Copies of this chain bind each other. A is one copy, B any other.
Amino acid sequence: MLTEDSYTEWLRRAETDFLPHISLDCVVFGFHAGQLKILLLKIRNTEQLALPGGFVLKEETLEAAAIRTLRERTGLENVFLQQFHVFSDPLRSDPANRARHLEGIGIDSARAAWFAQRFISVGFYALVEFSEVDPHPDMFSATCSWFNLEGRGTLILDHDLILETALTVLRSQLNNQPVGYNLLPRKFTLPELQKLYEAILGKPLDRRNFQRRMFAYGILRCLDEKRTGGAHKAPLLYSFDLRKYQKALKTGLHGGW
């Protein structure tokens, strides 16, 4: 719970424990029912949506800070995390914006010198398997839940820019990072895999072409098992051959030079 005391204690620790001027924000992607999802915090006592973000302890790497932030603010652990861009516009977190933001939560902004400083924020993206995680909010947040990428509403500060940049980077890294491996359940059908690619790329793909290329990479293992329970003819299940997947990613799925 966010109380006057817990907030005072948090601020006292922030000013002694964290490096000033440096923050991080996490764009957490999931995939469910054919949709790319994004994990957002709703800030307590407001309708404001934010990426889970945090700060860096004085003797901590950025990567450790991102892992700790995700655990503290969303409950997520053991996720695939990757830094992707640093956001350094001096106006990205201008004091007036932050004061409004703090007042919205019911915090006296005059006391919150920590939040009034300029922050340069390192963006991380996380890929998590939707069905495996159970996100929950921290004391600053009313909810921590999944939103569809489309129609999610506007985020605070420059968090929409951070999210859009993460998506652009994710697109460009589809052939160099184990995106499918981290977003899909262990067993999946080819239509599910294709829907994931379509959701990330934001466009429909030709089914035959997609499957031909996916098979050519040699990273899929057919499981001799079928997805049952659907209305359609039961499709075959596949999983990734992780060793071959990682080998193929080294030169890029489209092949190297």
Contact = CB atoms under 8 A, between A and B. Distances in A.
Contacts of A19: 21, 118, 120
Interface stretch (A41-49, A53-61, A101-109, A182-190): A53-61
Interface stretch (A2-10, A86-94, A233-241): A86-94
A175 B174 CA distance: 13
Given A60-B90, A88-B62, A201 B20 contact: no
Contact of A254 (B61, B120, B252): B252
Number of copies of this protein chain within its complex: 2
A39 to B, nearest CB: 22
B83 A61 contact: no
Nearest to A88: B62
A59 B86 CA distance: 16
A231 to B, nearest CB: 28
A76 interface: no
Contact of A83 (B59, B86, B89, B197): B86
A257 interface: yes
Contacts of A21: 19-22
Contacts of A89: 61
A110 to B, nearest CB: 22
Given A19-B120, A21-B21, A254-B254, 17 more contacts: A19-B118, A20-B20, A20-B21, A21-B22, A22-B22, A56-B88, A58-B90, A60-B90, A62-B86, A62-B88, A83-B85, A86-B122, A172-B176, A174-B257, A175-B252, A175-B254, A197-B257
29 contacts: A19-B21, A19-B118, A19-B120, A21-B21, A21-B22, A22-B22, A22-B120, A56-B120, A58-B90, A58-B118, A59-B90, A61-B88, A61-B89, A61-B90, A62-B86, A62-B120, A63-B88, A83-B85, A86-B122, A172-B176, A174-B257, A175-B252, A175-B254, A197-B257, A201-B257, A205-B257, A210-B257, A252-B254, A254-B254
